[in-house]
Amino acid sequence: MEWPGLLPSSSAKTLPLLNKEIISCTACPRLVQWREEVAVTKRKAYEAEKYWGKPVPSFGSDKPKLMIIGLAPGAHGANRTGRIFTGDSSGDWLYGSLHRAGLATIPTSTSIKDGQQLIDTRIACAVRCAPPDNKPSIEERDTCAPYLTKEIEIASKTSTAYVALGSFAWNAMIKSLRELGHTIPTTKFSHGAKITFLDGSRTITLIGSYHPSQQNTFTGKLTKPMLDKIFKQAAKAAEIG
Ligand code: SF4
């Protein structure tokens, strides 16, 4: 099938410049339509708010030691607030855990004005626009992939640890690292899955975690101690704190 959108590419040399490119992307027609439609129709609880309604940039350190990779923005979370994992239940879980691991300055993430700062840590997503039902298509995943690859390429100058939230992010992270020339053994995603490889003289650690979606947290598939264990491990691998 011919892809109707304008395929993204990036010549950014820094993570802030990459964020600027991402924010203006319109490559995926279905996602552009959905992110903008949600921003107009809104959820009743947020009808007085102005939704972001654009691709959601990465958040955190511009020279991260630890990279966290999620799936995609939530329709009424990051697509509303403009900051990744901000303003929904997944974000409550994620930032709470990051705070307990010494990776975030406050335990909550409610808006871009809440003062939250990540410590040597950056959060990106495999797909930057909110998808219907939280499910990007294969074409959308592949269309957005150059941004993740570029982000990892720049971040890898300082990052020695990566956490992927869910199998979608796990596979996207490994694909990007392979495209950058790293030899990554094929390892099936699981909560706590771990891969290490050498980048020159540095040991790089990849860790898999269940995504803190309501589907996992409401059912008890993912608990706070399980998530905390992942981020304590990641902080240690990245030598933060
Ligand atoms: S998902 Fe990625 S490639 Fe598609 S429109 Fe959004 S930013 Fe662009």
Ligand 1 centroid to residue 35 C-alpha, Å = 10
Task: Note if the pTM is more than 0.75.
Answer: yes
Residue nearest to atom 2 of ligand 1 (CA): 144
pLDDT band at 241 (very low <50, low <70, confident <90, very high): confident
The number of the ligand 1 atom at minimal distance from the alpha carbon of 143 is 3
Mean pLDDT of 85-95: 97
Mean pLDDT of 213-232: 98
Ligand 1 centroid to residue 200 C-alpha, Å = 32
Mean pLDDT of 220-231: 98
Q: What is the pLDDT of residues 150-202, one digit of tens each?
A: 999 999 999 999 999 999 999 999 999 999 999 999 999 999 999 999 999 99
pLDDT band at 5 (very low <50, low <70, confident <90, very high): low
First to last CA, the chain: 49
Q: Are strands 161-165 and 194-199 parallel, antiparallel or unpaired?
A: unpaired
More confident residue, 4 or 14: 14
Ligand 1 site-directed mutation target among 128, 138, 151, most atoms within 8 Å of CB: 128
pLDDT band at 113 (very low <50, low <70, confident <90, very high): very high
Please state, for a pLDDT cut of 90, what percent of the chain lies above it: 95
Please give the pLDDT value at position 8.
Answer: 75
Tokens of 16: 């802030």
Around Cβ 179, how many Cβ atoms within 10 Å? 14
* CB 118, CB 101: distance < 8 Å: no
Ligand 1 site-directed mutation target among 30, 35, 129, most atoms within 8 Å of CB: 129
> What residue type is 29 in one-letter code?
P
Ligand 1 centroid to residue 142 C-alpha, Å = 10
DSSP string, 90-133: HHHHHHHHHHHTTSBSSS----TTS---BSSEEEEESS-SPPGG
| Alpha-helix runs per DSSP H in the chain | 15-23, 29-41, 78-81, 89-100, 138-155, 167-179, 214-217, 224-237
Cα 104 to Cα 48, 172, 231, distances in angstroms? 29, 24, 11
Please give the pLDDT value at position 3.
Answer: 53
Give 112's contacts (C-beta < 8 A, 6+ positions apart).
Answer: 81, 82, 83, 86
Please give the pLDDT value at position 4.
Answer: 54
Ligand 1 centroid to residue 30 C-alpha, Å = 10
Pocket of ligand 1 (CB under 6 A): 8, 22, 25-28, 31-32, 55, 127-129, 140, 143-144
Q: What is the pLDDT of residues 10-49, one digit of tens each?
A: 889 999 999 999 999 999 999 999 999 999 999 999 999 9
pLDDT band at 1 (very low <50, low <70, confident <90, very high): very low
